[in-house]
């Protein structure tokens, strides 16, 4: 079998890329994405940067942050009323201890 030879650059139209259906192309066009370049430079409306690590002692209520630490204890709890599983973990770093719930 021969290799497919398809030249693509930043100005290649989205519809020229294989496996892009007309319906998906329409969704991309609604986002203003017409070319490969548009696709590379499209960032989600809500973008969270998780690269900055915050010490546990510096946490503030209501913030979305990233912590790094050691998991001391983790357990799953099954709720019977809503039939959900809740995961609880205790995480510590050099500055403190926190309980995380999913």
Examine residue 40 and state whether it is found in any structural domain, yes or no. Answer: yes
Nearest-angstrom CA–CA distance, 80 and 96: 32
- Establish if 1 belongs to a structural domain: no
Residue 96 counted as domain residue: yes
In a domain, 38, yes or no: yes
Q: What average pLDDT score do residues 58-75 get?
A: 94
Q: Is there a contact between 85 and 77 (Cβ–Cβ < 8 Å)?
A: yes
In-domain check, residue 2: no
Q: Over range 44-49, report the average pLDDT.
A: 78
Q: Is the same domain home to 43 and 61? A: no
pLDDT surpasses 60 at 2: no
| Mean pLDDT taken over the chain | 90
Mean pLDDT in residue range 52-60: 96
pLDDT value at position 101? 94
Specify whether the CB–CB gap between 92 and 72 falls below 8 A: yes
Is there a single domain that holds both residue 41 and residue 71?
Answer: no
Residue 74 bridge partners (DSSP): 89
Write out pLDDT tens, residues 13-46.
998 888 899 999 999 999 999 999 999 999 877 7
Domain holding 73, by residue range, is 56-101
Q: Are residues 75 and 97 in the same domain?
A: yes
Q: What pLDDT shows up at residue 4?
A: 59
Span 50-64, average pLDDT: 93
Q: For the beta carbon of residue 69, count every other beta carbon within 10 angstroms.
A: 19
SS3 content of the chain, % helix, strand, coil (to 5): 20, 30, 50
Query: Would 35 be classed as within a structural domain?
Result: yes
In a domain, 80, yes or no: yes
Give the model's pLDDT for residue 24.
Answer: 93
User: Number of folded domains in the chain?
Assistant: 2
Could you give the CA distance from residue 29 to residue 39 in angstroms, rounded to a whole number? 10
- Hey, what's the torsion of the CAs at 74, 78, 79, 82, to 10 degrees? 120
Task: Looking at the structure, tell me whether residues 39 and 60 fall in a common domain.
Answer: no
């Amino acid at each position: 079998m021969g290799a497919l030879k398809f030249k693509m650059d930043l100005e290649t139209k989205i519809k020229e890329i294989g496996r892009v259906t007309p319906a998906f192309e329409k969704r991309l066009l609604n986002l203003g994405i017409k070319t490969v370049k548009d696709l590379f430079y499209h960032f989600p409306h809500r973008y969270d940067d998780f690269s900055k690590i915050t010490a546990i002692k510096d946490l503030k209520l209501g913030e979305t942050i990233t912590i790094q630490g050691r998991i001391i204890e983790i357990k799953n709890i099954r709720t019977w009323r809503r039939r959900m599983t809740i995961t609880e973990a205790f995480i510590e770093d050099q500055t403190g201890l926190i309980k995380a719930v999913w």
